[in-house]
Amino acid sequence: MPQQSRPGRIVRAPEHFVSASLQQDITQHGVGASDSPRRDFLRKSFLGAAAALAAGVASRARAADGAAGDDAILTPQPWATTLGQPVAAHPYGQPSPFEKNLVRRESPGLTRVSAASVSFAPLQGFFGIITPNGLHFERHHQGWQDIDPARHRLMINGLVKAPRVYTMDDLMRLPAVSRMHFIECGANTGMEWGNVAVPTVQYTHGMLSCCEFTGVPLKVLLDDAGADFKRGRYLLAEGGDGSGMTRTIAMALADEIIVAWGMNGEMLRPENGYPLRLVVPGVQGVSWVKWLRRLELGDQPWNTKDETVHYVDMMPDGMLRQYTSIQECKSVITTPSGGQQLVGRGFYNISGLAWSGRGRVKRVDVSVDGGRNWRTARLETPVLSKCLTRFNLDWVWDGSPAILQSRAIDETGYVQPRLAQLRAVRGARSIYHNNAIQSWQVADGGEVSNVHVD
């Protein structure tokens, strides 16, 4: 698995410079005096500043990367002295060429066929909570295709008075809603059940993305078809690809389900279900059926292949647990994370993601000593239900070995478990639904690696 790096994203430390006056600032403002969430922007930023100064991150016009700081700012760069590219040079824009290594990646050998595989999202390079559409993770069962939206149909049938067939034009005239939600594959972090420590956060947690979805509420369509809500307790969702993907969804979840065409402001991408997918907030990704072609209302679960052979949890007694669809509360530190390199002691911004299929994230704690002591991280806004939440925490690394962990707590009071706690209940032969606390070990040389801490 190749290591990712890109200019400006490697975690490394410059030389240190702390003036006497800045040391005084730090003393006056009591860095680290508070562990409580600091949402007030001013206070937060000031404390942050003081912490940064304590570590001496900034320096006065100093040399860096072999180029003199003075020279770099005083000598005109080529882009300051020449005419640039015109507007709409790219009618649909692209990332900078300097970011070309930050891409989604297949894990070689994970499956035998790349059309029935996974590409992982590069979480180590993400900011905030929105996943850029070009870097949304992929999980296909028979590959993706460029479906012609004019030829695509959605059927509603089963326990309804009047079965329906909708064109995309029909659907897009209906009342639309927009909501931000995370999507996580049920198999995310699956390798960590055993003693395999996958090297980077892209491969441990990269079957995770978060978008603003737009579409018509499922209930609107069911109402339109005259659904029998008394007998109709389960929904079958069927995809339009050749994999025969069908999933049973409990109607208890129906209120929040969206039949979606929009993803971060534009139409769904082909590999994410264009032109239509199901959005089932809080539930594992396999139920968010892509290229959605049919919804059938029924009175019992269907027990399809993708809910009997796959996506079941092997329990310690060898029994298989079915229909565990909700993604429980979970978090991961994305920076610093496995494969990255701290260059020297000093200030670092520990940053990561937290989420819960049960609602809002209430709190995220961070430990730098393998779980003995915890500090409460700052949550970026907005904090939304069944959506990623970005957390940040100031950290001054003293150069000695450290083990970084994050622990999320959701609004139901559920606390993300330690790996040992999870294994005690679930064993170590599962593939799916691993929401254990992730540990990143920082060696005294600054190398960060994946380590299993019970």
Residue 162 touches a second copy, criterion: CB under 8 A: yes
For residues 261 and 405, what is the distance between their CA atoms, to the nearest angstrom? 37
Q: Looking at residues 49 to 68 of the shown chain, list those that interact with a second copy (rule: CB under 8 A).
A: 49-53, 57-62, 64-65, 67
Interface map 265-284 toward a second copy (x if CB under 8 A) = xxxxxxx--xx---------
Query: In the complex, what is the shortest distance from the CB of residue 177 to a second copy, in angstroms, rounded to a whole number?
Result: 6
Encoding tokens for residue 204? 């441990």
Within residues 347-366, the interface with a second copy by CB under 8 A covers 347-349, 351
Paired residues of 154 in beta bridges: 166
Can the peptide bond before residue 336 be classed as cis, meaning omega within 30 degrees of 0?
Answer: yes
**Helices 41-55 and 20-29, axial angle in degrees (round to 10):** 140
| Residues between 223 and 262 with contacts to a second copy, criterion CB under 8 A | 223-226, 240-242, 255-256, 261-262
d(CA 286, CA 274): 16
| DSSP element (H, E) containing 24 | helix 20-29
One of 28, 33, 36, 77 touching a second copy (CB under 8 A): 77
- What minimum distance in Å lies between the beta carbon of 418 and a second copy? 28
Among 112, 161, 230, 372, binds a second copy (CB under 8 A): 161
Q: Is 96 exposed, middle or buried (0-12, 13-18, 19+ CB in 10 A)?
A: exposed
Establish if 345 lies at the interface with a second copy (CB under 8 A): no
Upstream peptide bond of 275 is cis (omega within 30 degrees of 0): yes
- Residue choice 5, 16, 37, 44 for contact with a second copy (CB under 8 A): 44
Nearer to a second copy, 383 or 419 (CB): 383
CB of 313 to a second copy, least distance (A): 24
Of these, 129, 286, 292, 422, which contacts a second copy (CB under 8 A)? 129
> Which residues within the stretch 203-222 sit at the binding site for a second copy (CB under 8 A)?
211-214, 217, 219-221
Angstrom distance (rounded) from CA 207 to CA 217: 25
Interacting positions 358-417 with a second copy (CB under 8 A): 380-382, 384, 390, 392, 394
CB of 178 to a second copy, least distance (A): 4
Minimum Å gap between C-beta 260 and a second copy is 9
CA dist., res. 423 & res. 316, Å (int): 9
Which amino acid is present at 448? V
For position 39 contacting a second copy by CB under 8 A, the verdict is: no
Of the candidate residues 36, 148, 309, 413, the single one contacting a second copy (CB under 8 A): 148
33 belongs to the binding site for a second copy (CB under 8 A): no
Q: How far apart are CA 282 and CA 10, in angstroms?
A: 32
What is the rounded CA–CA span in Å between residue 429 and residue 359? 28
Query: Token match 């809500």: residue?
Result: 229
Does the CA dihedral 240-241-243-248 come out positive or negative? Answer: negative
* CA angle (281 as vertex; 279, 282 as ends), nearest 5: 140
Alpha-carbon distance of 254 to 219, in angstroms, equals 7
Which residues inside 289-308 make contact with a second copy, applying CB under 8 A?
291, 293-294
For the bound state, the minimum distance from the C-beta of residue 454 to a second copy, rounded and expressed in Å, comes to 31
Selected from 115, 320, 420, 443, the binder of a second copy by CB under 8 A is: 115
Q: Does 70 bind a second copy (CB under 8 A)?
A: yes
Quick one: which segment of 81-89, 189-197, 311-319, 446-454 binds a second copy (CB under 8 A)?
Answer: 81-89
